[in-house]
């Protein structure tokens, strides 16, 4: 039987930026076998929720991380940020980007072993980046940079992988390969993926989390209109053949507090 003790538990989370409310009284549990798709309108708090889990933004409420997310002092959480958050002018190569994912284990000045470098090369080769691994990050495409950032996020073998809009700037071929890779990774780690493309990810993730200041976790990846009304979530379902598609709509609770 699968242990249903959460590896991450958020309770009563609140975040404000310059007086503006980003999250209010947010609760969320994440389990070891989860593959969560996080959806919601722009500015609704999706990225802020991820940063709360990562511990990079001040907040009220409590964040509890399971001991299994730690190896000695290393926190076993991999993170793939939005490409816009990564400084493409920084003078490092794709290979160095991937190796930087080991800083939690090595420390900022820690030296990389032959095993570390071999692992980085294997990830780069598997992602189709082996022949350009020495290229500076400012000289590669957005899609190539996204692949490197995914390698960086998984090189430390995390128990939880957080991805913020990972399919941005990639072509359809790599997007399909990305989702297949994530399905495989989910066999050994929990995954939380922010996406604006709710229709696509609904066929990939196991559960949906709606975020619009408040947070609602749904029990499946298929949402009925009744569920959305009950949870006051910011999406509306549209049927399209055999594949469910969604579009974002205004969240009524936003207007109540503005």
Predicted pLDDT at 206? 94
Which strands form 20-30's sheet, in the order they lie side by side?
A: 20-30, 8-17, 60-65
**For residues 46-52, average pLDDT:** 96
**Among 3-12, 67-76, 168-177, which is the least confidently predicted range?**
168-177
Place of tokens 């399909």: 176
Q: How confident is the model at residue 79 (pLDDT cuts 50, 70, 90)?
A: very high
Predicted pLDDT at 238? 43
Where is pLDDT greater, at 82 or 245? Answer: 82
Whether the CB-CB separation of 32 and 7 falls below 8 Å is answered with yes
Quick one: fold of 8-76+158-257? Rossmann fold (3.40.50)
Mean pLDDT, rounded, of the chain: 84
For residue 21, pLDDT over 80 is answered with yes
CA 201 to CA 243: how far, in whole Å? 11
**For residues 118-127, average pLDDT:** 95
Where is pLDDT greater, at 43 or 134? Answer: 134
Whether the CB-CB separation of 213 and 24 falls below 8 Å is answered with yes
CA 89 to CA 100: how far, in whole Å? 16
Q: Closest Cα to residue 258, out of 15, 14, 27, 22?
A: 22
Structure pTM?
0.84
pLDDT, tens only, 198-250: 777 888 999 999 999 999 998 888 766 665 555 556 555 544 444 444 444 44
SS3 84: helix
CA 13 to CA 29: how far, in whole Å? 12
Q: Closest Cα to residue 141, out of 108, 189, 114, 174?
A: 174
- Residue ranges, comma separated, of all CATH 3.40.50.300 domains in the chain are 8-76+158-257
**For residues 159-172, average pLDDT:** 86
Alpha-carbon torsion angle 24, 30, 34, 37, nearest 10? 10
Predicted pLDDT at 234? 55
pLDDT, tens only, 134-155: 999 999 988 899 899 999 999 9
């Amino acid at each position: 039987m699968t242990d249903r003790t959460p590896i991450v538990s958020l309770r009563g989370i609140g975040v404000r930026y310059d007086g503006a409310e980003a999250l209010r009284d947010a609760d969320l549990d994440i389990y070891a076998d989860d593959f969560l798709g996080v959806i919601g309108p722009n500015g609704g708090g999706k990225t802020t929720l991820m940063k709360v889990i990562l511990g990079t933004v001040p907040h009220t409420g409590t964040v509890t991380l399971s001991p299994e997310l730690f190896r000695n002092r290393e926190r076993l959480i991999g993170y793939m940020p939005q490409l816009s958050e990564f400084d493409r002018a920084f003078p490092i190569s794709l290979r160095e980007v991937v190796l930087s994912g080991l800083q939690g284990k090595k420390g900022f000045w820690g030296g990389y072993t032959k095993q570390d470098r071999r692992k980085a090369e294997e990830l780069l080769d598997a992602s189709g980046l082996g022949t350009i691994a020495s290229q500076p990050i400012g000289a590669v495409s957005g899609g190539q940079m996204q692949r490197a950032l995914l390698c960086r996020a998984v090189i430390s073998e995390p128990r939880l992988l957080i991805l913020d809009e990972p399919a941005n700037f990639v072509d359809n071929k790599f997007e399909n390969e990305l989702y297949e890779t994530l399905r495989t990774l989910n066999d050994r780690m929990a995954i939380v993926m922010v996406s604006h493309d709710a229709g696509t990810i609904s066929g990939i993730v196991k559960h949906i989390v709606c975020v619009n200041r408040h947070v609602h976790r749904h029990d499946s990846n298929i949402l009925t209109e009744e569920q959305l009304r009950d949870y006051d979530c910011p999406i509306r379902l549209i049927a399209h053949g055999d594949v469910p598609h969604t579009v974002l709509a205004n969240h009524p609770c936003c207007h109540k507090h503005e």
